[in-house]
Each structure stands twice: as C-alpha cells, then as structure tokens.
C-alpha cells in the first residue's frame, strides 16, 4: 500500500514535470520560433473517403494533408519527398503571395519544373499576413486526387482579431470523383470529347458517403461501414462561439454550405477581415476561404446537420453531410431532422447578393488606387479548337509551355513560348454574350501579358454563353502572387463608361479568388508590385486543363537569382554542365 | 465520252508515275538508307484490347506500338515526345546491346533520368545484329500499361538466313490486367501486402477476349462486340512456310504457345540462330523472342487455333486465342475444334527439356571463354523486409537510386548509392533451398557489382522455395547490354565442382533472357566488354518492382561524354549552371 502511494506520488510529480516541459516548450515556441518546418512524403494509398475505395494522393498518409499552422511573419519550410511511382508533383500555396520567393509558388510550368519521383524539393516562403489559406497540387489535375490542405496564419503575439470567439475550427470542402485524374483528363483531351461528369460525392474535411447500393459499380469497392467514411463531426459546447474557417477546393462544384438552424456571421474572406454580415447559407467557390462565427445557441439536447450543396450546376451529386455535435450528445448521433436541401441550383440572385455583400471591415480597408493604368477585358468562352472542346479568354485558349515561364524569362529562353502578347479585350460591340459561342479564329497559345511594374491593372472578367444554348457557367478565378480589390459585379455585358462609375472604391474587399456569375461580369484591380510570373485562372480543375487561364509577368528583372532546384525540364536542360 | 477517256488515260499515266516514284524511293532507301527515324508520341488513350475498356499507354495511338524495321548496321533514331499528363517515361530497347551508347539503354535510374511530360527525348543506337528484339517502357511498372513493341533487324543485302521461308510474320504475347499499374504497385508496396493477382487476359498481338458476363465488374466497361477485341488472325497460304517471330512481354506469366495441328521448328532465339528442333508447343518467358518456322500443310478448308496458355503458375487466366486463317477462308471463321488446352501448369520437365534443347546453330557458334575470371552465385528468395514482401538476391533486395548509376559513376557522385558491393554468393552449405525462405538479415540496397573490363563472368542463378510451403516460381532473368552464353540448367542446389564440369562449352546458345525453373539453377557466362552500367533482373514486372535485380558496372571510364539529355533528376541537378 505504501509502495502504491509512493508510486502515485511519483507519477503525479512526473506528470507535473511533463506538463511544465510541454508548456515551457510551447511558450518558447510561440514567442521565438520563426521557422515552421514540415517534412512531407507524397504517395498513393488506397482510401475510402466516401466509402468507395480508390487511390488517393496522401501527405504523410493523410488526405486532407496536415494543416500548416504559423504566425504572421514566420517562415514555412516544406521538404517534399515525391514517393509517387512514376508521377511528378508540385504544390501551390494558395493565397500566399510569395513576395521575394516567386519560385516557391509551386505552379508547374509557370514557376517550376515538376518534382520527379524520388526527388525532394524544398518550398520556403514567408507568411506575411494572418488569415486562412490553402495548399494543393498544381500539376495536371492532381489536386482532385486528394493532395490538399489548409494553412492557418495567426496574428503576432499581443494582437487580436477584430472579432471574438471561443474556439477556432476548420473544414475544407471538396467534391470527389471515383475515376482517376488520368481517366478524366484522357476524356477531356479526346476527340470526341468525354466530359468527366458530376462528382460522386461532396466531402467535408475529407469525408463523404457514397451510396454503396448504387447499381453497376464494381463489387468489393464500396463498404458503407468503413470507418474512413464516418461523417465529419464538429463538437460544440453549448453557448460557446466558434470561428469556423471554411475553404473550398472543389474540382468542379460551387457550393452552398449551411448549418441547420444556425446563423453564420462572415468575418474573413481570403485572409481579409470582412464587415460582418449574417447568412443562413454561405456560397463558396473553389479556391475561396471564409471565416464565419457560429454560436452554439440552439437546443443542446440534439445534434444538427452541416450540409454542403451543389449550386450553379444541375448536379446529380448528393449533398455532403456532417454533424454539428452538441456536447455531451454522441458525436455521431444522427440529428432528428431531415437534412437541409439547400437553395435551388439555378437561383443566381442570392449568390450575386452575397458576392456584393462582402466589403472590407472598417479599420482594415486597403484603399485601391483611384484609376487603373491598364484595363484588360477578358471574355470567357467555350470553344471548339481543332476538334477539342476548350475554354478561352478572348478566343485564346491557354496551354502551359514545357519550360516554366519564370526560368525562361530570367534566363533569356524566350523562344520557349509565343512572344506575341494575348489580346487586351474582345469585340464587345459585336459579340453576343447570350448566344452560343461562335468559334471563329479561336487558337491555343502560351503567350503571356507583360505588366509594367507597380502599375495598376484592372481585369474585367466577362462571362458569356457556352457552346450549349441558354447556358452560362460560374467560374471562380484565382490570381497567384496577389490579392486584388473586388470593384464590382454586374449582370450582362460590361460597359466601361457606365459600370466603372459604380465601382466600389471606398471599402472593396481584397481577395485572391472571386466568381463570375452566369452572363455576368466581375471587375478587379490589382497592383503589379510582386516581381515574378503569376497565373490567373479558373479554379475549376477541368476548366484550367482545357485552357481557362492567363499568365502575368511583372518586374521579373527584379527577381533574385533562381534556385536550380526549380529547373531540370524543357530548355532548362541546356544549363546542365557536368 | 472522249473527255472521260482522256481523263482515264491521264489517270493511268499519273498512277504509273506515282508507282515509279514509290518504287524508286523504296529502292533508294533499301540500298542507301542507314538511319531509321521514328517520331513517337506517348500518351494515355482508352482502349479495349480484351473488350474491357481501360487506359492504355499508346505510341502514336497504338498498342502494341509500331514495329521498328531495320537492317543490320543501321542507326535507329526514336524521337520520343512524352504526352502523358503528369507521368514520366523511359523506353528500353530490349536485346540491343548499345555498344558505345550506354545512355540509350532507356533504363530509368540506371542509364537515364525519366523523361518528364512535355519533353522530347532522342534515343539513338545502332542495331548491330540481325534478329528479333523488343522494346518496352522501363519505368515503374509502365510496361504492362501497353507501352511495348517489336524490333526486327534484317541481314545486310545479299546475305541470307540459314533457314528458308516464304513469309515473315510476328506476334507479341502479353498478359493483361484491368487495374492500373498505380493500383497494382500501391498494393505491392503496402503493409499488409496486396498481391496484384493473376491477369485477366492473355493478349496475342494486343488482342484478347475477356468474358463480359463476369459477375461483379463495373457496368458499361466491357463490350464483347468492340472491334478492338476481334481476335488476332494470321492468314496463311496453303503450302507456304511462315517465319513466325514470337516475343513475350508478359507482366507475370510464363506461356506455352501452340498452333493447333501444326509443328513449329525453332530457328532463332533472342537474335541467335538455333540448331533447329521441332516442338508442338513453345514455352516462352517474358523478355524472350523466338523465330519458328510453320508450314501451312494442314486441311486448308478450315482455320486453326493459335493458343497461349499460362504455365508455371496455377493461374485463373484463360488461354489467349488467335486464328491461323487458311486462305481463302474468312479470317475470323471459327475453327471447328475445341481450342487446345495446353500443357499442365505444373509439369516442369518439358520446360526444362526445351531450355536444354536450345543450342547454337553450327556455323553460327560463338565459342565461350573456357573458364571464368569470376563466379557470382545468386540465390533467388522471397523475403519480408520491414514488413514488406520483397524478392532478393543473396538476401539483398534491390532498389533504384534517385540519381542514375551511369551519371553517378561518370560524374563522381558516388555518395548517391551504397558503395559496399553486394555479396558474391550465399551460404550454400547451410541454406535449404526446399524450405520456406528464412528471412534472416535480408536488406534493401542499391549497391552494385563492379566488373573488371573484358573479364569473363559466370552467373549462377539459384532458385529456392518462396515464403509459401512447397512453392518455387519460374523467373526469367534478362541482362541489359549483353548476350550471355547459356552453359546449363539443373535441378536442385548447384554444386560448382560437379555441375560446372557438365557445362556446354561446345555450342551454347547466346541469349539475353533465360528462365530459372522451380528449385533449379541456370548457369550463364558473359564477357564484361561493354562499357556502361547494366541491369540484370527478373523480367516479371512485379518481381523487379519488389527488388529482384542487380546492376553491373564495367569499363565506365571508357564511356564517352554523357549527353545532358539523360540528366535533370536527383543529384544531377547540381550540374544546372544557368
């Protein structure tokens, strides 16, 4: 008995010491540590995120990958080992502007050669703003094989957010296909064109539920009781307020996210503080992040549904469902209600209304330059070029060169891509944006826009009809290396003399990803003040694959000596001097 | 009417002129042309070679790829464009010794970095011997995705083969999986191990027939009436003799090939003339080629089956069937007989007998050196290492380094692989080849054998029991960069003092691929006279993936300056000096 007591006393002391050590190391880290080092191994593994078994690209065995937590001003280092068998990789740090490190943007073909199997590549960059960001593969259509995750950057010690909450939680929303990206891409590049179709599932934080009784699927692949596809569950303490960071990395789908019976107050968008507004459902497009505040103020005797619903496409994909778990109910106890259906897929007005509601928070406004030095109007169309279905900007469909632009431009390999710049606009007078896209003179090109350093550039994204009658899609456009001011949204054909007068120059939000709505336009402004080469593209994986993107160069002469680790492909082989 | 006649006359003259031009250019080519130039594009396409639709790696839209036809002494140039989306590639020219061009052997990790998507790589080599050779992907497990074909090298003008025939035809035999190589490889590398299983089909010249009524398959993928899976049919004229060049590039299976009711006279093996012998069925192992003479001397009122049957494994794979079509029957008319069943899978004696029957043809004998300078005994075992199932040679399981050996050795990057050489043998006295493999001290290594230039090396391949009771498999071993003399085959444990006395030093055949039979040994001799770095490995795709191979270096100091096109990965990046 005495022995036992002694033992207990020793154990207590040991525990106290351990706690002290933990706390000490934590305190030390949060004050001093400025380098966040991650060692990642990327490989294929069999996973069943929606109960259906397929190959998934994992990071250290996980998909979604590990969350990168850092503090403003920290340096993030990711040492990435490619353990895919025959397949290369590159990872983009979505929303991180890469000031001074344009070679770490992770955009294959733009800022680096792909990382070949067996090689280790080191990404190193500073996270210079607090907020919620993403990372994901930026090579081929790999993103939708599961290689993605979240970046959370906190404020410096002593500073606090302009909103308050008790707990900080996050979810990434994705859509999920059962076919491999090779299968999808082969169809997209085929004549005749084979569309990938609608995704099989919506995943909330990597978890969904496909109906294993679906007829015609291969036997043995779907297992409804696989623990990998137990639903996402967020436990909340009654009365507490949660900051929920929501990111979307869907391959295709625009989503409406809601928590049954709860309001959400939007407070952050793409790393910028938002003048708060309340929504019942949050529309979120691929590449966007939001923080919403949710108070656990409902009946605590039950759980509630979290639901992600496809909008903007007449989709067959069922809603993704998770559980908001009121403590102390069981975390997987099914809510007693029918899950929310979500808004009508083709009801555009509330989506435009939400886009327009997002303004910069007072006290956190970055005032944009009053007028632009240059305006580029970008007509978004679907075209058929040489028998292939493509997406184009001003009738030019983008393809990547074999030598990454950043290297080509810095090392004077200008023959590696077309030098005639792409068009500044389209024939707005005569083009009917409501008619089926005429496919006159559409071409495929890898030419780029050169921007005067430090100049102010307006981008007018103009939507139009696709190749199908009465159809215009929603496209989330993402700009690398910058945030832009969102000056305005409108419906119909943009008219520069009228519409530019209505720009919000008072408190426009800054973002890195923004939708254009069907038959609508979106006006953006940014300062070309980040030396490098930057992709601007539709964040729908298949649309970018089919040419929906452009590239900007600015101040590339100010970029420091490039690391050779980004080289090895295309014409960079001429630098091999053994 | 007059106009019409004039027109006809003009057309006739034009045709005659065209024919003259064609003939003239053909005649010119066959006498003078010494460069055989091929431009290939490699990409994924949906194909249904056995009626089941899956992604196939094609060359210029075809699988099997185009046959390379050349004449002894010609230079073959293949300009290979990688149009796979995210996947690299490398192609090995199987049986071509690459004298003076070791960097063109196409062995990823040994002689080159992989070719990344978008890049074009130029293979250039001389075909210095007549005969039948192969080419195929040598990266990951890509070969079994359909990237393979045949090389036929004819004699110089005025020379003739020591056997006569009327027509020259060829077929490649393969086995075929419905799962992608990623899926297979992920299983092989997993803990617990997931075996790929037996192939779904045997393909004759890229054509097979899977039973679309098989339960449990995904609907919509199998179509029994797809023209892509009409059977291979070889039309023969009664009374004529056919040289049939047969190559095997199976992923897994050893095969017995037969033509119902017809004898086959074996006249060539791996590019060497054979003292002719007659077989009813030809055993052929992955990586081997044979020429057989077949006389169309049977009942010409009907067609006959050609059948390829799995031996050496208790396989569930049905026989591959083709049609020997007696002109003028319809080429797809079904023979009136039940297809041949083929020999019992576990009847080893006739396979050993055939191996032993293959001798060099009189007048074409290359006499081997009388004795070796070095003997390396290679115990083949299956092992479990760190939880993974692996194949090993002398308890060392091979893995490829990230910097190809050829570059590492020429450019003094010796830190890129282990420098301790692998063992010269095993503890033959105490090891029980009939017992389940002990897994004592098995390791994974990328170390290599250094051979004295011009020395004579004997390789004794010693088979043993696998990790399963009473099981020993058949392994076809293939040597790059050389032909070897096949000195003998035996059963049981090799005894150097007794067995080496029985070596055939009189008329041994030279080959580049040779089987070891269950619980047997095979003795080979070769001259290390080809400066370079050469892989020697089991040609079963999954076995090599699991470590069944070794590498030889010889006279690497005599290798000329390496082309930089083979570089770009691993430590070769340090040569990037922009």
Residue A384: CB atoms within 10 A of its CB come to 14
Write out pLDDT tens, residues B208-232. 999 999 999 999 999 999 999 999 9
Q: Do B114 and A116 touch (CB under 8 A)?
A: yes
Pairing, β B68-71 against β B148-154: parallel
Structure-token pair, residue B416: 């890129």
Minimal CA separation from B563 to chain A, in Å: 10
Interface contact B88-A85, CB threshold 8 A: no
User: Beta strands B510-511 and B484-491: pairing type?
Assistant: antiparallel
pLDDT, chain B, mean: 94
Beta carbons within 8 Å of B154's beta carbon, 6+ residues apart: B69, B70, B71, B72, B130
Please identify among residues 109-148 of chain B the ones whose CB lies closer than 8 Å to any CB of chain A.
109, 113-114, 116-119, 139-142
Mutation pick from A118, A446, A567 vs chain B, by most beta carbons of B within 10 Å, is A118
Q: What is the pLDDT of residues B450-464, one digit of tens each?
A: 999 999 999 999 999
- How many whole angstroms from its chain centre is CA A324? 24
The string of pLDDT tens digits covering residues B437-495 is 877 789 999 999 999 999 999 999 999 999 999 999 999 999 999 999 999 999 999 99
Q: Quick one: pLDDT at residue B9? A: 52
Within 10 angstroms of residue A45's Cβ, the number of other Cβ atoms is 15
**Statement: residue A25 has pLDDT above 70:** no
Beta-strand runs (E) in B224-339: 233-236, 241-248, 254-259, 264-269, 272-279, 281-284, 289-295, 304-311, 320-326
The pLDDT assigned to B440 comes to 76
Q: Does A2 score more than 90 pLDDT? A: no
How high is the pLDDT of residue A439?
Answer: 74
pLDDT at B424: 98
Arithmetic mean of pLDDT, A553-566: 98
Q: How far is A134 from chain B (nearest CA, A)?
A: 22
Tell me which of 2.60.40.420, 3.40.50.970, 1.50.10.20, 3.30.450.20 is the CATH number of domain B374-575.
2.60.40.420
Q: What integer is the mean pLDDT of A114-136?
A: 97
Domain boundaries, chain A: 37-357, 374-575
- Give the residue-averaged pLDDT of A187-212: 96
Q: What is residue B201's three-state secondary structure?
A: strand
Q: Name the nearest CA neighbour of B312 among B280, B286, B278, B338.
A: B286
Average pLDDT score over residue span A194-205: 96
- For residue B271, give Cα distances in angstroms to A309, B278, B288: 63, 18, 10
Task: Look at residue A183 in the predicted model and tell me its pLDDT.
Answer: 96
Q: Read off φ and ψ for residue B24, nearest 5 degrees.
A: -60, -45
Mean of the pLDDT values across residues A263-268?
98
Strands A320-326 and A374-385: unpaired
Whether B11 has a pLDDT exceeding 80, the answer reads no
**Taking CA atoms, what residue in B is nearest to A139?**
B86
pLDDT in tens, A390-427: 999 999 999 999 999 999 999 999 999 999 999 999 99
Rounded average pLDDT over B84-104: 97
Minimal-distance CA residue of chain A relative to B55: A183
- Supply the CATH classification number for the domain A37-357: 2.60.40.420
pLDDT of the residue at B23: 42
| Contact residues on chain A for B568, CB-CB shorter than 8 A | 113, 116, 567-569, 572-573, 576
Residue A252: band (very low, low, confident or very high) from pLDDT cuts 50, 70, 90? very high
Name the pLDDT band for A437 (thresholds 50, 70, 90): confident
- pLDDT category at A20 given cuts 50, 70, 90 is very low
List pLDDT tens digits, range B338-371.
999 999 999 999 999 999 999 999 999 999 999 9
In angstroms, the separation between the Cα of residue B47 and the nearest Cα of chain A is: 11
| Nearest residue to A362 via CA among A257, A480, A463, A508 | A508
pLDDT above 50 for B544: yes
Tokens found for residue A168:
């900080």
Write down the residue that tokens 């649309």 correspond to.
A543
The residue-averaged pLDDT of A39-45 equals: 98
In whole angstroms, give the CA distance from residue B10 to residue B3.
11
Q: What is the mean pLDDT of chain A?
A: 94
Enumerate the residues of chain A whose CB falls inside 8 A of the CB of residue B411. Answer: 578
Task: Tell whether A37 is within 8 A of chain B (Cβ).
Answer: no
Q: How confident is the model at residue B256 (pLDDT cuts 50, 70, 90)?
A: very high
Q: How many angstroms separate the CA atoms of A207 and A201, rounded?
A: 9
Tell me if B37-357 shares its fold with B374-575: yes
- Minimal Cα distance from B412: which residue of A? A578
Q: In the prediction, which pLDDT does B89 show?
A: 98
Say what the pLDDT of residue B439 is: 74
Share of chain B above pLDDT 90, in %: 93
Q: Which residues of chain A does B217 touch, with a Cβ-Cβ cutoff of 8 Å?
A: 218
Taking an 8 Å cut-off on Cβ atoms, the answer to whether A85 and B220 are in contact is no
Taking the CA of residue B451 and the nearest CA in chain A, the distance in Å comes to: 25
A86 in contact with B, Cβ within 8 Å: yes
Q: How high is the pLDDT of residue B237?
A: 98
Res A23 pLDDT > 50: no
pLDDT at A21 exceeding the cut of 60: no
By the 8 A CB rule, do A439 and A384 touch? yes
Q: Does B402 touch chain A (CB under 8 A)?
A: yes
**What's the rounded mean pLDDT across residues A548-573?**
97
Q: Burial code of B359-381, b = ≥16 C-beta within 10 A, e = fewer?
A: bbbeeebeebeeebeebbbbbbb
Residue A399 near chain B (CB below 8 Å): no
**Would you tell me how many other CB atoms lie within 10 Å of the CB of residue B26?**
11
Q: Is B63 on the interface with A (CB under 8 A)?
A: no
Provide the pLDDT for residue B13: 52
A440 — pLDDT class (breaks 50, 70, 90): confident
Give the pLDDT score at A26.
43
CB contact under 8 A, A575 and B570: no
Residue A542 tokens, joined: 């298949």
Q: What is the pLDDT of residues A216-226, one digit of tens each?
A: 999 999 999 99
CA distance A489 to B425: 75
Q: Is the pLDDT of residue A1 over 80?
A: no
Mean pLDDT of all residues in B93-97: 98
d(CA A87, CA A44): 10
Output DSSP code: residue A338: P
Residue A278 — pLDDT band, cuts 50, 70, 90? very high
């Amino acid at each position: 008995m005495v022995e036992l007591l002694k033992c207990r006393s020793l154990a207590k002391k040991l525990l106290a010491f351990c706690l002290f050590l933990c706390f000490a190391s934590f305190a030390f880290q949060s004050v001093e540590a400025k380098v966040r080092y991650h060692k990642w191994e990327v490989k294929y593994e069999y996973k069943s995120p929606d109960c259906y078994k397929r190959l998934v690209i994992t990071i250290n065995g996980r998909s979604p990958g590990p969350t990168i937590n850092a503090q403003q001003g920290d340096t993030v280092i990711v040492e990435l080992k490619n353990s895919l068998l025959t397949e290369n990789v590159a990872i983009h740090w979505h929303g991180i502007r890469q000031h001074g490190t344009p070679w770490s943007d992770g955009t294959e073909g733009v800022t680096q050669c792909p990382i070949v199997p067996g090689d280790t590549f080191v990404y190193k960059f500073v996270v210079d703003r607090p907020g919620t960001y993403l990372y994901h593969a930026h090579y081929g259509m790999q993103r939708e094989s599961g290689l993605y995750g979240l970046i959370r950057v906190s404020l410096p010690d002593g500073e606090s957010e302009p909103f308050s909450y008790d707990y900080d939680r996050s979810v990434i929303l994705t859509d999920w296909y059962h076919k491999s990206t090779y299968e999808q891409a082969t169809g997209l590049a085929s004549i005749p064109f084979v569309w990938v179709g609608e995704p099989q599932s919506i995943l909330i934080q990597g978890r969904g539920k496909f109906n294993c009784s679906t007829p015609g699927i291969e036997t043995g692949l779907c297992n409804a009781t696989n623990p990998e596809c137990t639903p996402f569950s967020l436990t909340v303490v009654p009365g507490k307020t949660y900051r929920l960071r929501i990111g979307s990395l869907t391959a295709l789908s625009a989503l409406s996210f809601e928590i049954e019976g709860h309001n959400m107050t939007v407070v952050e968008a793409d790393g910028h503080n938002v003048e708060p507004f309340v929504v019942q459902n949050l529309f979120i497009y691929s590449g966007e992040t939001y923080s919403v505040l949710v108070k656990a103020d409902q009946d605590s005797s039950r759980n509630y549904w979290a639901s992600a619903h496809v909008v903007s496409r007449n989709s067959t994909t069922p809603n993704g469902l998770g559980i908001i778990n009121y403590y102390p109910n069981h975390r997987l106890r099914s809510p007693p209600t029918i899950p929310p259906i979500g808004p009508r897929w083709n009801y555009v007005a509330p989506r435009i209304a939400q886009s327009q509601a997002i303004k910069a928070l007072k006290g956190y406004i970055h005032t944009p330059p009053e007028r632009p030095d240059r305006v580029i109007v970008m007509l978004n169309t679907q075209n058929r070029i040489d028998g292939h279905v493509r997406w184009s900007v001003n009738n030019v469909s983008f393809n990547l060169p074999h030598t990454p632009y950043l290297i080509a431009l810095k090392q004077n390999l200008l023959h590696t891509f077309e030098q005639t710049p792409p068009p500044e606009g389209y024939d707005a007078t005569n083009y009917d944006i409501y008619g089926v896209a005429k496919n006159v003179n559409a071409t495929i090109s890898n030419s780029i826009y050169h921007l005067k350093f430090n100049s102010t550039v307006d981008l007018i994204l103009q939507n139009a009809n696709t190749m199908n009658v009465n159809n215009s899609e929603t496209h989330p456009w993402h700009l690398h290396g910058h945030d832009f001011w969102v000056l305005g949204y409108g419906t119909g054909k943009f008219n520069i003399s009228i519409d530019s007068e209505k720009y919000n120059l008072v408190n426009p939000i800054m973002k890195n990803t923004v939708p254009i709505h069907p038959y609508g336009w979106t006006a953006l402004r940014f300062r070309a003040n980040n030396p490098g080469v930057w992709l601007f593209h539709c964040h729908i994986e298949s649309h970018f694959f089919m040419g929906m993107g452009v590239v900007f160069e600015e101040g590339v002469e100010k970029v420091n000596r490039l690391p050779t680790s980004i080289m090895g492909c295309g014409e960079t082989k001429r630098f091999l001097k053994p």
